[in-house]
Each structure stands twice: as structure tokens, then as C-alpha cells.
A and B are shown apart, each in its own frame.
Chain A
Amino acid sequence: MEIFNFIVITFYLLSTLGYFAYLFLQKDVYQQTGFYLLVAGFCCHTAAIGFQFIQSGHFPVNNLHEVLSIAGWTVAGVFLVFQYRLHLKILGVYAAPLVSLVMVIAAKFPNAPGQANNILNNLWLVVHVVAVFIGEASFALACGVGLLYLLQEHAIKSKKHGFFFRRLPSLELLDTTGYACILTGFAMLTFGLITGFVYAKAVWGRFWSWDPKEIWSGITWLLYAALLHQRLTVGWRGRRAAIMAIIGFAIILFTFLGVNFLLQGHHGEFTKL
């Protein structure tokens, strides 16, 4: 298992290297190399997770190591899909290091096999976890696109066309990509929450139990709902949308990690050390 992890992380780090080379040298070949390295890493990663699934007999979200690994895996997967669909090449400069970072942190935590937990064997749970993770991975990308937007807008507004102005695409492309990320993320998060409710009803007999993670997920959902609503009604776009995407992701990070460490609740069990 260790060797598998090592290969995956190596691929991700090499991909990061490729994307940074692209950022500095502006040769398309580096970007392609970075992309294919990420694809390779993602494939190995998928195999590793599948292997773990079969070996342990349940979905590998038992401890923090596994949860982070799944998080990295979904970010990589979602990025590859977006890259394939939207061709925002420069986004890899954000996504590849993010995935690498998550995986390196994951590797720092021990991967102690947790005792077989029956509640992890439910299809609803798998769907719930995967949907929420895809949603959050999309929001992570939206945050990255938002950062790039702010960089580019600053360059244009301040009229100081430095390093990033030439390397970043148009504001329009950044804005529409960010919107697409948030739309996908919101749809997946909604779906994830609904399956979570169904699952909670099946296991605990109630849809909602005022668990801190549930509350914070609800807050996140409301925030993105507001953002989308504003965009559709009064055309919230550009700078404001970018800032909101970044704030939204900060709240997600808190929901994802902070709640587990600082507050109690039934979600906490899955991410204990």
C-alpha cells in the first residue's frame, strides 16, 4: 500500500512540476506533460482506492488518511473533467499542487485499518460521500479560479501588467469557468446532502440531527445558493463572485476539518486520527 501511495504522490508532484514549468516558460508541451502526469497519477490513485475498498470490504473513509486521500482523488478527477471540457490550461497551476499537498498531508497521517464499521457499508453512504466530495472539489477549483480572476483583474485595473497578465486568460473565461465550477459543485452538494438525509433516516431514524457538520454544511449550501441566486437575478459576476467563491471555500475547509477537530458530532468519527 505504501508503495502505491508513493507512486501516486510522485506522479502528482511531477505533474505540479510540469505545470510550474508551463507557468514560467509558457511552452504548451509542459502543460500537456503536466496534464498526462496528472491523468497517470489519477489512474494509479483510483486503482489504489479500489484495492483498498476490496481489501477492507468497505468504502475507505475510515480515518483522516483515507478521507484526505479521497479528497485529493476527487479534486484531481474533477479538475481533469473540467480541463477536458473547458480548456482552462493555467488552472493546473492551482489544482496539481493542491492535490499534491493534500496527498502529502494524507501520507503524514497513519493509515491504521479501522475496525469494520457496518454503517460504512451502505450504498446511500457511498453516494453521499462521493457526491459531497465531488461538490467540494468543484468548489475548491472555483476558489482557485476566483484567485486567478482577482490576480488578473488587479493587473488590468492597476495597469501594471506584470508576470500574470500575459499568462492568465481573459476575465470572461475565468468568470464563466468559476461559474461552471460553482454550478457543478452546488448540484453535487445538494445531491450529497439529500442522500445524506436519506441515509441518516435509515440509520438513525431522523433526517436531521443538529450535528455541527450538518449545520455547517447547511450554511455552506445557503451561501452558494445565495451566490447563484444573485448571479441569476442581478448578475453578480466578476470580482464579487470571485471573492464569494474564495470565502465559500474557506467555510468548506472549516466544515471539512475544523468541525471535526473543534466540535463534536457523529461525522467526527470518520476523521479521527
Chain B
Amino acid sequence: MLDIVLMGLNHKTAPVTLRECLAFSEDETSAALKVFRESPAIREAMLISTCNRVEVLMATSDTSNAADTVKVFFSEFKSLPVSEFEKSIYIHEGDDAVRHVFRVASSLDSMVVGEPQILGQIKAAYQIATSKKTSGVLLNKLLHRTFFVAKRVRSETGIGDHAVSISYAAVELGRKIFGTFEGKKVLLIGAGEMAELAVEHLIRNRAGDILLANRTFKNGVELAKRFNGQAIRFEEITGFLEHVDIIISSTGSSDYVVTRDQVKGIIRRRRNRPLFFIDIAVPRDIDPEINRLTNSYVYDIDDLKGIIDENIEDRNREAIKGERIVDEAVISFRHWFESLDVIPTIVELRDKMEDIAKGEIKKTLQTLKHLSDDDHEAITRMTNAMINKILHDPTLLLKSNGHHQNKSVYLDVTRKLFKLDE
């Protein structure tokens, strides 16, 4: 009897150094699947490798043997003694394995709950498995259910709703102020990973012109090339405050780069259009007093972090709903899985009947040469109809859900009566 087994390690059980050692590239994944396919213990297999996890999903009738095969393969392929990673490995069977796959794909098991990449990574891993033909009836069904569950969790819970990174949080805030970024001018003061990421998000949200101010004008020009923007001199910032709408600041300056008086003077000239300051620098670049001016909003890095913490809490609350959806899906998968062993029995039964009928028809027709082709066909049709009628009641009985406990008994008897296991 085949069962679904999942084994692997993730960010909760293994440190990053170990995960790095065991990570599989796309080509390596293909090579691994090839080895698994040849192993007698593993019937179906798929390998998921992301920066937070390395997991093998299998269909096997011999869990311990299959697990050993995978461990030995990991050890040989990555030149790492089994003892190095054995403690980090978890092995789930049956419902637990199914639940784990559902949870991973729905991003309930992620380091940042609700992050959207994982589903794509699982899809890619599944694609490799299908192209290497290591996925069969079980994994195909399981993965299709998985994609469905993940989508449901995402659309029915707020698990991915609110930003959990500084730059996304800033963009989300901007949306609450401006509604849309279309035509909104952005000024980036200084440079830095987070600030540049925020600018990229804004560009992706169709922000208008990008201006860049840097103490070293040359660096500004280089950045401007990257963002397809315009570099301005540091001294020109005050003048440009009149025209820009979003200011992202990230310099190493120890004093405020933009002061309250600078902004106060231009608000009237801006005709009160809102100004949004995102201050990512430590120490701060933007005078916090600016937040008190009308239609000006200042968020520094602590404010943004505060928002993110709230959002993470929210996601964790939503994750509880996600777990419920996963639990439901596990139960419904179990139903399918249980009916599965009925179906091959019925199919085998039918195959056997049809083989017998074919043989007998052939034998009979050889002696009845005077029959026309139409007559041949009529006889074939009649035998098929007989098979259908004969198998109708046994099939119904096997498929019916009324006798859960006895199902395996019925299946056993059927297989023995018709010698299906030989």
C-alpha cells in the first residue's frame, strides 16, 4: 500500500549554514529525481529546495527504506556525513505529510507568514518532477489539491494583505495618502538598499518623475541612470520640495537634511498638495516637526517598523483561518486517498474480464467464418455489455461509502476471488 511521505529540513530545524550546504539547483534537482526514480523503494518523488527549506515529497510503500535512500543520496551528493544533518530532518507520513505540503504552499510554514514566493517555487519544483516523470497519480492529485488550497488560503484570509517589509510598508502608506502614484514625483535623497527598493516599488506603481539628490553629484548621476531619473545637487533640494510629492531620505548626515522651516515656506506655494516624507536614515534626516505641518506626513524607520509589527500580528491572526482551511483540505484529500485503492481494483477487475472476453471472441470467430463484419461487431458489443452488467453491482459495492471499516475486507476478497494480485 502506497503512502505519502515528506522528509526534509527547514528554517526551524536547520541553521542557514546547513540549508546552504543541502540546497539544490534546478539541474541538481533533476539529477536527484533521476536517482530517486531508480530506487525501488520510491514510487513517486519531487524535490523542493528554497532558501528556507529542502524537502522531498514521495509516494512509497516502505517509508524507512525510502527515507534512508534519500539520506544516503543527500550525504553522497553533497559530500556531507549523514550525522551532520540527520537531527534536522523531519519525516511526515500520511495526513501529516499532506498537511505539511498544504501549509508550506499556503505560506503558513514560512519564515514570514504569507510571503507569496513559495507557491511559485513549489510549482516550479512540480514542473521539474513532471518533466522527469517522477510524479504519478498520487503526487499529481496532491499537488493539484495543494495549489487549490494555497489559492484559497490566500484569497479567503488576509494572510498576505499587509506589508511586512519597510519599503512595502512605505508604499502602502503612500497609497493611503495619494490614492494612486500616477504622476507623483519622487525625490530620493542619499542612497541605500531599502530606499532604492522603495523607489523601485513606486516606479512599479507608476510613479511619475524620479529625482535624485546625493552629496556627491557623480553618485547621484549614476543612480539617476539606474532609475531613469534626473540628478539634482544637494543644495537644490529646498527648491525642488515645491514640485515633488514623495521624499525618501537615506543619508549618513548627522543633522536634519530637511528642516521644518524649509517645508513651512513651500506649503502655500504647493497649494497645499500633500507631502509624504519617508525617513529611512539613522540618525534621522527629516525634522519630525514637519509632521505637524498641514498636509505633510513624516514617517521614520521606527514608525514603519511599528506598522510592520502590527501587520505581522495581523497575518498571524489570519493564519489561524488558513490552518482551518488546510485541515478541511487534509480531510477531503484523505477521502480521495481512501477511494483510490478501490479504483485500481475495479480497473484491474475490468481489465481481466476484458482480456478473457477478447480471447474467447477471437477463438469463437475463427470457427465462424461465414459471419460478416457487422456480425463480428454485434458480438463484441454484446460481450462488452455483458461485462458492464456483470461488473455493475460489484463496482457499486466497492465504491459505496457505506461500509468504511469493511472496505479493505471487501477489497481483499475481491482481489483474492479474481486473483488480481498475481
Q: Is the CB of B274 within 8 A of A171?
A: yes
- Point out the residue from A152, A169, A170, A238 that lies within 8 Å of B295, measured CB to CB: A238
- Knowing A159-B303, A235-B273, A238-B272, say if A171 contacts B294 (CB, 8 Å): no
User: Which of B177, B272, B299, B310 has a CB less than 8 Å from the CB of A235?
Assistant: B272
Q: Is A89 located at the chain interface by the 8 A CB criterion?
A: no
Give Cα A173–Cα B297 distance, bound, in whole angstroms. Answer: 17
Judge whether A239 and B179 touch: CB under 8 Å.
Answer: no
**Closest Cβ neighbor of B162 among chain A residues:** A166
* Separation of A235 and B266 alpha carbons in the complex (Å): 13
Given contacts A156-B173, A161-B307, A238-B274, contact A173 B179 (CB under 8 A): yes
Minimum CB distance partner of B177 in chain A = A171
B177 / chain A contacts, CB cutoff of 8 Å: 156, 170-172
Whether B297 and A157, one on each chain, are in contact in the complex, defined by CB atoms closer than 8 angstroms, is yes
User: How distant is the Cα of A4 from the Cα of B353 in the complex, in angstroms?
Assistant: 74
Task: Using known A-B contacts A170-B175, A173-B179, determine if residue A161 contacts B310 with beta carbons closer than 8 Å.
Answer: yes
Cα-based distance from A235 to B273 in the complex (angstroms): 8
| Residue B419, interface by CB 8 Å | no
**Chain A residue at minimum C-beta to C-beta distance from B291:** A157
Q: Among residues 142 to 168 in chain A, which have CB atoms less than 8 Å away from a CB atom of chain B? A: 152, 156-157, 159, 161, 165
Give the contacts of B306-320 with A (CB-CB under 8 A): 306-307, 310
- Quick check: A169 and B179 within 8 Å, CB to CB? yes
Given contacts A157-B297, A159-B299, contact A234 B268 (CB under 8 A): yes
Q: How far is the CA of A238 from the CA of B306 in the complex (A)?
A: 25
Q: Given the known inter-chain contacts A159-B299, A159-B303, A240-B294, please indicate yes or no for A234 contacting B271, CB distance below 8 A.
A: yes
CA of A240 to CA of B273 in the docked complex: distance in angstroms?
Answer: 12
B307 to A, closest residue via Cβ: A161
B178 at the A interface (CB under 8 A):
yes
**B180 CB contacts on chain A under 8 angstroms:** 172
Known contacts: A161-B310, A171-B274. The answer to whether A156 contacts B295 by CB under 8 A is no
Q: How close is B205's CB to chain A, nearest CB, in angstroms?
A: 13
Interface centre among A169, A236, A237 (most CB of B within 10 A): A237
Q: What residues of B have a CB within 8 angstroms of the CB of A159 in the complex?
A: 299, 303, 306-307
Residues of A within 8 A of B306 (CB): 159
When distances are taken between beta carbons in the complex, the residues of chain A under 8 Å from B204 are: none
Report chain A residues within 8 Å CB of B179: 169-173
B226 interface hit (Cβ, 8 Å): no
Cβ contact within 8 Å between A234 and B307: no
The answer for the CA separation of A118 and B119 in the assembled complex, in Å, is 75
Confirm or deny: B176 has a beta carbon within 8 angstroms of a beta carbon on chain A: yes
Residue of A nearest to B295 (CB): A238
Give the nearest-CB partner of A158 in chain B: B291
From B272, B291, B297, B299, A237 is in contact (CB under 8 Å) with B272
Question: Which chain B residues numbered 247 to 265 have a C-beta less than 8 Å away from chain A?
Answer: none
**Given the known A-B contacts A169-B179, A234-B268, are A239 and B307 also in contact in the complex, defined by CB atoms under 8 Å?**
no
* Least CB separation from A152: chain B residue: B176
The chain B residue sitting closest to A233, CB to CB, is: B271
Selected contact of A156 from candidates B176, B271, B310, CB within 8 Å: B176
A129 to B272, CA, bound (A): 36
| Cβ-defined contact, A156 with B297, below 8 A | yes
- Tell me, in angstroms, the Cα distance from A85 to B173 when the chains sit together: 26
Chain B contacts for A156, CB-based, 8 A: 173, 176-177, 297
Instruction: Compute how far the CA of A165 lies from the CA of B176 in the bound complex, rounded to whole angstroms.
Output: 8
Pick the most buried of A152, A172, A234, A239: most chain B CB atoms within 10 A of its CB: A172
Contacts of B299 in A (CB 8 A): 159
B274 contacts across to A, CB distance below 8 A? 171-172, 238
Task: Report the Cα distance A180→B78, complex, angstroms.
Answer: 67
Can you list 28 pairs linking A and B with CB atoms under 8 Å apart?
Answer: A152-B176, A156-B176, A156-B177, A159-B303, A159-B307, A161-B307, A161-B310, A165-B176, A170-B175, A170-B177, A171-B176, A171-B177, A171-B178, A171-B179, A171-B274, A172-B177, A172-B178, A172-B180, A235-B270, A235-B272, A235-B273, A237-B271, A237-B272, A238-B272, A238-B295, A239-B294, A239-B295, A240-B294
Question: What are the 4 tightest A-B residue pairs by CB atom distance, in nearest-first order?
Answer: A235-B271, A170-B179, A172-B179, A235-B272
Further 7 A-B residue pairs, CB within 8 A, beyond A171-B178, A238-B272: A159-B306, A161-B307, A172-B274, A173-B179, A235-B273, A238-B294, A240-B272
Chain B residues in the interface with A (C-beta under 8 A) = 173, 175-180, 268, 270-274, 291, 294-295, 297, 299, 303, 306-307, 310
